[in-house]
C-alpha cells in the first residue's frame, strides 16, 4: 500500500490521539518494533503507528477514522501467529491495531456453559477463569500463555483437543465485530440454535481480520472431567497408528480427547536439545502416539477402560510398547515432549514448515509417498512429522541434512519442497493450512490450489464487506485491485 500524503497521515494520527490518548498511539520506532515483526522473525514490517484502543467503542472510532483517511489496518492480538497474518507490510503506510487492551472477561454463565470474553484476553486466562467456575475451556495449544482469543478466532486455531471438542469455530457461539465502516455488530448471542439467516459468525472466524475486527466472543464451556489418563504408545508405522486410533475411538468414544502422533526423529530431536525430557522406551520405535482419556466418572473408571484398550491393541499387534502416566507430573512430562518438538526444531536450525491436513484415512499414504519424494529430491533431509492425528492435521516439517547449513538449505530448497508437499496434499484432497491460517505466507499458494470458482466467491465476499481493502490487505487472498490505497 502506498504512503498517504503527509498532511493526511498527520491528520489521521492527530485524530487517533484525540480518540485514544497520546500514550496509546505509538509512533516511535522503539515502541512499534515489537508489533512489526512476526513471532518466527520471518517478516519485518513497518507501521505509521500502533493503535491501542481500550474497548469496542474505541476500536470503532479508530476504524471510522481509518475509513475516512483511507488508512489500512492490521489487527493484532498476542502476535504469536506462524503465517505473518498480523504483521504489516514494509511500506510503512499501514497502522497496526492492537487488541491487547480489550482484555476483560465480561460474563461467565455456568448454566448456559458459556464465557463472554474480549478479543485481547489471553487464552490461558480464559482457561483459568473457566476452571474457577468449575468448567473446562478445552482449546489448548503451545502458545496459550501469550496468544489471545481474538487471534484464535481469526485463524480458527485448532490445538490438541479438536478430536473431542472441535476447533475454535466449533467452540464459539457468538461474536461482536467492528465492520470496515466502523459500525458495531452485536452478535453476542449464547445460542446453540439460531436459524435466522446467513451465519455471519462463521464468516468472520478464520478470516484473519480481512473482513472486520472481532472485539468479543461468546465461547462454549464444558464440564470439568473428573480424571485424565495420559499415555505414550509406541508403534511401527503411521498405518498402525491409524488402526490404533480407530480402536481407541471404538473403546473410548468421546472420552478420547487427545491423540498426537510423533515420529522417531521428533523424539530424538527433543532428547538431543532437552535431555531432561528423556525417551520413555527402552528401544526406538518408528512412531509414538500420545493419547489422553478424559473421564467424567472417576480415575479408576478411566484406567480400567485404558487397560482394556491397551490389551486389545497389544493382542492385535498394533502397539509395540506403552507407558501410562502415574501422576499429574508424569502426564505433564509426556505433554512436554510433544510441546517441545517445535522448540527443538528451532534449536536444530531453520527448517521448512508445513501445517497441512489430509483425510485421516490418507495420512499413512501421504507420509510414505511424500517422504519418498523428498528423499529423492534432497537426499539426507530429515523429516519432523508430528501433529493431531485424530483430526488429520500434521506439522510436516523438513530439517536440513546432518552437517548442512540450515540457512543455505532453506534458501535453496524451500520453494521446491513446498511444491512437493503441497502437490501431494492436493492429490490427497487435503489443505495446505489446517490451523495456522494463510496470512501472507501462503496467500499465493492458496490461490494456486483453489478453484477459480472458490476464489471468485472469496473475492466477492471481500469486495462486499471491505470494498476499500483497508482490513488487513494482502492476507488470505490477493484482491484484483487495491482500491484502498491512499492517495500519494
Q: Is 32 helix (H, G, I), strand (E, B) or coil?
A: helix
Which pLDDT value is given to residue 479?
82
Is the pLDDT confidence value at 114 over 90?
yes
What is the average pLDDT across 318-339? 92
User: What are the pLDDT digits (tens) for 30-57?
Assistant: 999 999 999 888 899 999 999 999 999 9
Which pLDDT value is given to residue 8?
60
Q: For residue 130, what is the enclosing H or E element?
A: helix 123-132
d(CA 472, CA 86): 8
Contact 153, 175 (CB under 8 A): yes
CB neighbour list of residue 288: distance below 8 Å, 6 or more residues apart: 232, 233, 234, 235, 261, 262, 263, 264, 266, 267, 281
Domains of the chain, each with CATH number or no CATH: 105-223 (3.30.465.10), 227-341 (3.30.70.2190), 349-427 (3.30.70.2740)
Is the pLDDT confidence value at 219 over 60?
yes
The answer to whether the pTM exceeds 0.85 is yes
CB neighbour list of residue 454: distance below 8 Å, 6 or more residues apart: none
Which pLDDT value is given to residue 486?
44
d(CA 457, CA 230): 44
Amino acid at each position: 500500500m502506498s504512503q498517504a500524503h503527509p498532511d493526511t497521515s498527520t491528520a489521521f494520527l492527530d485524530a487517533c490521539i484525540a480518540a485514544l490518548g497520546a500514550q496509546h498511539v505509538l509512533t516511535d520506532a522503539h515502541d512499534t518494533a515489537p508489533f512489526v515483526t512476526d513471532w518466527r522473525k520471518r517478516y519485518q514490517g513497518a507501521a505509521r503507528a500502533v493503535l491501542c484502543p481500550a474497548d469496542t467503542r474505541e476500536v470503532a472510532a479508530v476504524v471510522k477514522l481509518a475509513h475516512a483517511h483511507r488508512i489500512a489496518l492490521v489487527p493484532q492480538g498476542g502476535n504469536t501467529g506462524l503465517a505473518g497474518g498480523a504483521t504489516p507490510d514494509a511500506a510503512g503506510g499501514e497502522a497496526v491495531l492492537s487488541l491487547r487492551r480489550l482484555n476483560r472477561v465480561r460474563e461467565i454463565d455456568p448454566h448456559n456453559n458459556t464465557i463472554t470474553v474480549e478479543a485481547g484476553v489471553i487464552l490461558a486466562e480464559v482457561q483459568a477463569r473457566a476452571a474457577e467456575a468449575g468448567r473446562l475451556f478445552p482449546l489448548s495449544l503451545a502458545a496459550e500463555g501469550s496468544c489471545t482469543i481474538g487471534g484464535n478466532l481469526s485463524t480458527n486455531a485448532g490445538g490438541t483437543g479438536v478430536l473431542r471438542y472441535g476447533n475454535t469455530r466449533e467452540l464459539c457461539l457468538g461474536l461482536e465485530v467492528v465492520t470496515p465502516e466502523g459500525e458495531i455488530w452485536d452478535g453476542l448471542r449464547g445460542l446453540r440454535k439460531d436459524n435466522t439467516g446467513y451465519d455471519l459468525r462463521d464468516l468472520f472466524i478464520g478470516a484473519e481480520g480481512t473482513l472486520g475486527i472481532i472485539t468479543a466472543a461468546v465461547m462454549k464451556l464444558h464440564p470439568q472431567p473428573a480424571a485424565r489418563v495420559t499415555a505414550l504408545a509406541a508403534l511401527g508405522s503411521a498405518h498402525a497408528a491409524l488402526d490404533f486410533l480407530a480402536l481407541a475411538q471404538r473403546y473410548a468414544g468421546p472420552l478420547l480427547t487427545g491423540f498426537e502422533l510423533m515420529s522417531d526423529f521428533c523424539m530424538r530431536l527433543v532428547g538431543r536439545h532437552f535431555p531432561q525430557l528423556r525417551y520413555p522406551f527402552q528401544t526406538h520405535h518408528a512412531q509414538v502416539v500420545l493419547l489422553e482419556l478424559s473421564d467424567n466418572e472417576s480415575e479408576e473408571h478411566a484406567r480400567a477402560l485404558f487397560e482394556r484398550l491397551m490389551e486389545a491393541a497389544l493382542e492385535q499387534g498394533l502397539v509395540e510398547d506403552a507407558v501410562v502416566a502415574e501422576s499429574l507430573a508424569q502426564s505433564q512430562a509426556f505433554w512436554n515432549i510433544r510441546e517441545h518438538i517445535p522448540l527443538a526444531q528451532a534449536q536444530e536450525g531453520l527448517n521448512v514448515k508445513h501445517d497441512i491436513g489430509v483425510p485421516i484415512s490418507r495420512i499413512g499414504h501421504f507420509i510414505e509417498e511424500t517422504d519418498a519424494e523428498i528423499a529423492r529430491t534432497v537426499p539426507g533431509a530429515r523429516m519432523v512429522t508430528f501433529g493431531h492425528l485424530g483430526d488429520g492435521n500434521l506439522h510436516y516439517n523438513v530439517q536440513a541434512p546432518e552437517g548442512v547449513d540450515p540457512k543455505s538449505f532453506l534458501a535453496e530448497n524451500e520453494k521446491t519442497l513446498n511444491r512437493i508437499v503441497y502437490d501431494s496434499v492436493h492429490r490427497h484432497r487435503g489443505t495446505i493450512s489446517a490451523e495456522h491460517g494463510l496470512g501472507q505466507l501462503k496467500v499465493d499458494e492458496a490461490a494456486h490450489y483453489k478453484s477459480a470458482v472458490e476464489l471468485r466467491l472469496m473475492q466477492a465476499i471481500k469486495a462486499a464487506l471491505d470494498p476499500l481493502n483497508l482490513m488487513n490487505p494482502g492476507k488470505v487472498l490477493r484482491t484484483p485491485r487495491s482500491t484502498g490505497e491512499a492517495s500519494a
